[in-house]
């Protein structure tokens, strides 16, 4: 029995040794795999660390307005992290800052193909198209940026993109389109006086003084003494012919900007309009007559000044004779009781100031400028 069992024992021992050898091989393989994984992870970590170091150097260089150095740093970062989209975007920005728009565009278009709704990528593409004067392309990219995806501070970035679009459109002379972009922007402003004043200025440039004045009023509700809003409200009210408001806002603005010639001119002209206008409510007949006479004298002086500067045209010379012939009849009692005389003198004065303006340029002095504004309100002649 013992002799017969020896081969079985030997076989069992051999099987045990084979299992031990296999286990050793597996353990060795697992150890080698773990070591390789650890080395690979350490290498990748080192790569990421080097990429981040170069990237941070590039950001500092770009912030310091050193785009060439930034380009080199971002390219080094990409050498260690080739497909990192954040590094590619920063490299594109550095290329733009250095004036290498074509190279920047290639990176930006690659990024856009990867993520079409990326807000900042579309904004940079819009700026690039705007710089090249490609109106439709810039308009499309700006809109993609406005309605795109932003990682943080979304309302602020969208406002910035729309403001840039408005500035671009105004620069292209597209005032109607700029106004259309401003209207939704105006409805989504933060409670910030400077923001409202900025949009008010843009509405003025877009030829919409009514909405401009609303924005300046909004700014003044937030900050009553905001100088930019007061000056803008003065200008908008002047464009709308709201002369009492011009005086109100302008006087407040001049307390903050006393040396502003534009403000002073508008305020004084508005005062002259209010003092000369014979159609204002609740004036007596005598006061209306006095105002017509003052308007007539101002217009005649402007006509004389224009005629003295050059050989007058037959039209100007004829009007000048009519005005001098009429002037002796414009005495206070006659102007007070004779409505037809008063209206005729006023109409002749407005005609005179229009003609002088066409022949010799618009007047700079407040009084004749005020009469010209009255002429614009009472007719379209020039």
From CA 10, how far away is CA 1, in angstroms rounded? 15
- Hunting for tokens 């004084």 — which residue is that? 268
From CA 165, how far away is CA 135, in angstroms rounded? 10
Phi, psi for residue 187 in degrees, rounded to 5: -85, -5
5-19, 29-43, 66-80, 259-273 — most confident range: 259-273
Q: How far is CA 316 from CA 243, 359, 381, in A?
A: 30, 8, 14
From CA 210, how far away is CA 253, in angstroms rounded? 19
Answer yes or no: is pLDDT of 382 > 50: no
- Tens-digit pLDDT profile for residues 117-144: 999 999 999 999 998 889 999 999 999 9
Answer yes or no: is pLDDT of 334 > 60: yes
Answer yes or no: is pLDDT of 279 > 60: yes
Q: Which whole number is the average pLDDT over 254-267? A: 94
Q: Which whole number is the average pLDDT over 172-186? A: 95
From CA 111, how far away is CA 78, in angstroms rounded? 14
pTM of the model: 0.79
Answer yes or no: is pLDDT of 165 > 70: yes
Q: Which whole number is the average pLDDT over 250-256? A: 96
- Tens-digit pLDDT profile for residues 280-317: 999 999 999 999 999 999 999 999 998 887 788 899 99
Beta bridge partners of 149: 118
Beta bridge partners of 366: none
Hey, how many other C-beta atoms are within 10 angstroms of the C-beta on 180? 13
Q: Which of 72-81, 140-149, 196-205, 238-247 has the lowest mean pLDDT?
A: 72-81
Q: Which whole number is the average pLDDT over 216-234? A: 97
pLDDT at 347: 95
Where residue 381 falls among pLDDT bands split at 50, 70, 90?
A: very low
pLDDT at 237: 97
Answer yes or no: is pLDDT of 339 > 60: yes
Where residue 59 falls among pLDDT bands split at 50, 70, 90?
A: confident
Angle at 132 between CA 128 and CA 136, to 5 degrees: 85
Residue 120 in contact with residue 107, Cβ under 8 Å? no
Q: Which whole number is the average pLDDT over 223-247? A: 97
Q: Which ranges in the chain belong to alpha helices (H)?
A: 2-63, 67-80, 85-97, 101-114, 119-131, 135-146, 154-171, 175-186, 193-205, 209-222, 227-239, 243-256, 261-276, 285-309, 314-326, 332-337, 339-360, 366-377
Q: Which residues contact 340 (CB under 8 A, 6 or more apart)?
A: none
Please give the structure tokens belonging to residue 53: 């170091």
């Amino acid at each position: 029995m013992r002799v017969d069992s020896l081969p079985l024992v030997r076989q069992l021992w051999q099987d045990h040794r084979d299992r031990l050898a296999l286990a050793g091989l597996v353990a060795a393989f697992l150890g080698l795999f773990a070591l390789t994984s650890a080395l690979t992870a350490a290498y990748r970590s080192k790569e990421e660390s080097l990429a981040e170091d170069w990237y941070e150097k590039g950001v500092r260089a770009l912030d310091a307005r050193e785009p060439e150095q930034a380009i080199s740093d971002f390219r080094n970062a990409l050498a260690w992290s080739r497909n990192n989209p954040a590094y590619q975007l920063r490299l594109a920005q550095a290329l733009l800052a250095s004036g290498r728009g074509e190279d920047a565009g290639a990176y930006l278009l690659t990024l856009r193909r990867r993520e079409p709704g990326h807000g900042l990528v579309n904004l940079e593409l819009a700026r690039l198209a705007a710089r090249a004067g490609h109106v439709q392309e810039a308009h499309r990219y700006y809109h993609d940026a406005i309605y795109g995806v932003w990682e943080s501070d979304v309302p602020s970035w969208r406002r910035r993109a729309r403001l840039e679009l408005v500035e671009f459109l105004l620069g292209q002379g597209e005032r109607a389109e700029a106004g259309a972009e401003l209207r939704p922007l105006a409805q989504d402003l933060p409670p910030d006086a400077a923001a409202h004043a900025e949009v008010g200025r843009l509405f003025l440039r877009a030829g919409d003084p009514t909405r401009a004045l609303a924005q300046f009023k909004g700014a003044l509700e937030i900050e009553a003494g905001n100088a930019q809003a007061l000056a803008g409200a003065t200008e908008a009210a002047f464009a709308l012919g709201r002369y009492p408001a011009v005086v109100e806002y302008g006087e407040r603005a001049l307390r903050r900007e006393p040396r502003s010639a534009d403000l002073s001119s508008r305020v004084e002209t508005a005062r002259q309009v209010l003092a000369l206008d014979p159609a204002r409510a609740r004036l007596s007949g005598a006061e209306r007559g006095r105002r017509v006479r003052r308007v007539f004298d101002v217009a005649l002086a402007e006509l004389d000044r224009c005629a003295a500067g050059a050989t007058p045209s037959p039209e100007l010379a004829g009007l000048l004779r009519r005005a001098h012939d009429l002037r002796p009849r414009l005495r206070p009692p006659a102007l007070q009781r004779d409505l037809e005389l008063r209206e005729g003198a006023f109409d002749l004065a407005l005609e005179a100031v229009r003609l002088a303006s066409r022949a010799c340029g618009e007047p700079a002095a407040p009084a004749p400028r005020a009469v010209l504004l009255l002429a614009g309100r009472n007719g379209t002649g020039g």
